[in-house]
A and B are shown apart, each in its own frame.
Chain A
Amino acid sequence: SQLAEENLWALSVHEGESVTVNCSYKTSITALQWYRQKSGEGPAQLILIRSNEREKRNGRLRATLDTSSQSSSLSITATRCEDTAVYFCATDAGTGGYKVVFGSGTRLLVSP
């Protein structure tokens, strides 16, 4: 079973709107990562938020982490068509090898 799961399979917004993708996880973590995968490409890391952090920003992106409820969110403000992608959360096992276990992903469509 997946150690991390995004709460929605798909989301659709219009350009300029804000959107939030939520994730829940089942294991103790050292960090949680958010990735974006555009069609035909490999995943690209957006944000890594450590277990002792509550919020992290990267431009229009903001990630939160709540270790008590084992949940995280990724918010995108002022969305653009090029934000259309699959967004994955992933748990960082932090066992020395830094292997990353992905959730099932939320498909975001940003339309004009």
Chain B
Amino acid sequence: SVLLYQKPNRDICQSGTSLKIQCVADSQVVSMFWYQQFQEQSLMLMATANEGSEATYESGFTKDKFPISRPNLTFSTLTVNNARPGDSSIYFCSSREAGDQDTQYFGPGTRLLVL
């Protein structure tokens, strides 16, 4: 199994500022993803974080607004640029374990409130 850690676990920021969320896996993982979840709603896939290359973004999410880096197989960061109150949600990183494509793991989430 894979354990995913996220930092910070929650944050409050002012509109117009940027926030960086870190995700660390306790072992190397092939695939890493970022999801957004609004209060009482489903999880929405934002992007696939690709090691050493640009992330692949889903419709409605852009690299200018949500730049993602993945320098190695255990680490990824999601930045929320020019944060707005509408960005207030929970951000989860997720992974598939290398060699075991049957299980997807999620981090504990980062709760962001933008004032």
Q: On chain B, which size bracket covers the interface?
A: 20 to 34
* B64 interfacial by beta-carbon distance below 8 Å: no
Indicate if the CB atoms of A99 and B103 lie closer than 8 Å.
no
Q: How far is the CA of A2 from the CA of B31 in the complex (A)?
A: 22
**B43–A102 CB distance below 8 A:** yes
Q: Report the bound CA distance from A44 to B43 in whole Å.
A: 13
Q: Are B45 and A99 in contact (CB under 8 A)?
A: yes
A33 to B33 CA separation, bound complex (whole angstroms): 16
Cα A101 to Cα B43 with chains together (Å): 8
Please report whether the interface of chain B is mostly helix, strand, loop or mixed according to DSSP: strand
Interface string of A51-94 (1 = CB under 8 A from B): 00000000000000000000000000000000000001000000
Chain A interface size band reads 10 to 19
Prevailing SS type, chain A contact patch? loop
Q: How far is the CA of A97 from the CA of B106 in the complex (A)?
A: 16
Task: Mark contacts of B53-96 with chain A using CB atoms, 8 A cut-off: 1 yes-contact digit, 0 otherwise.
Answer: 00010000000000000000000000000000000000010101
Determine if B104 and A98 form an interchain contact, defined as CB atoms under 8 angstroms apart: yes
Tell me the bound Cα distance from A70 to B92 in angstroms. Answer: 28
**Within 8 Å CB of A103, what residues of B?**
42
Q: Does A112 sit at the interface, judged by CB under 8 A?
A: no
Asked if A20 lies at the interface with its beta carbon under 8 angstroms from chain B, I say no
CB-CB < 8 A to A43: which residues of B?
43, 92, 106
The residue on B at minimum CB distance from A33 is: B104
CA distance A99 to B96 in the complex (A): 9
**A104 adjacent to B41 (CB under 8 Å):** yes
Q: Is the CB of B101 within 8 A of A45?
A: no
